[in-house]
Structures are given as structure tokens and as C-alpha cells.
Amino acid sequence: MFYIHCPYCDEYRDEEEFHPKGQAHIARPEDPETCSDEEWGDYLFFRDNPRGIHHELWVHAIGCRKFFNITRNSASYEILETYRMGERPRFSAEHPQGESAEHGAAVNVADEAGRVADQEGVRA
């Protein structure tokens, strides 16, 4: 049994309350009308299946019902971090020990501000 930290409820909750929803950070082609069949097929159907560190989308189905991201080791099942939609992971295959918090935060502000605004569009 895992306890998983929900970044929106901000506490560790029972695994039973969550559902995995597949690979995270899949970018929709900017212009679907002009992308090739191969690009569109990749976007729709093809997913990574790495051994080791992987970023996944999960949903806190029985709690706050928000989607968020988990960085997880697919071999050891260790959960390295959970983070909100629109944020960048600290841990990745390139940085298995984790990037410094400042770096992550700086990237987050520069690249992700627009996406955060989209995903939290209900904020007035």
C-alpha cells in the first residue's frame, strides 16, 4: 500500500483514492491540420515505456479530483515527487538526483506561465 502526496490536498493519501492516467507531458501538435500522419499517430497512440524514471499523469479520483504529475521509478516503484499541472519535475532520467529547486522554479516561471494560466482558467 502506497501513501501518495496530492499536491492540491497537500497531504499523503491512500493509494486507493488515486488512478494512474498514463504518460505525462504529452504535447498536442501545435497545428493538427498541417502535421503529418506519423506525428498525429505518435501523439495519439505511442507512449514511452522506460525502465527507470518516468513522468506520469495521475488523478486524485476520490479526493479533490484534480490531475497532477508523479515522477516514478518503473523498476523500483519508488515515487520521487508529485507536482501540480503546469510545473516542471525536479527529478528526471537526466537528473536522477534532482535538479536544484531554484533551477526548476526559474524554468517553471519562464516556460509554463501560459500553460498554468490555461489549466487554472477558472481563477478569476
The residues that touch another protein, with contacts defined as CB under 8 A, are: 1, 8-9, 13-14, 16-17, 62-66, 120, 122-124
Closest CB 67 distance from another protein, rounded Å? 11
Closest CB 84 distance from another protein, rounded Å? 9
User: Among 75, 77, 73, 63, which residue's Cα sits nearest to residue 18?
Assistant: 63
Instruction: Tell me which stretch binds Zn ion (CB under 5 A): 3-11, 35-43, 71-79, 110-118.
Output: 3-11
Closest CB 67 distance from Zn ion, rounded Å? 10
Assign 119 to helix, strand or coil. helix
Q: Which does 27 bind (CB under 5 to 8 A by kind): another protein, Zn ion, none?
A: none
Residue 31 CA to residue 35 CA, distance in Å, equals 6
CB atoms within 10 A of CB 122: 5
Write the CA distances from 39 to 23, 26, 43, 47, 96, integer angstroms: 17, 12, 6, 13, 29
Residues at the interface with Zn ion (CB under 5 A) = 6, 8-9, 60, 63-64
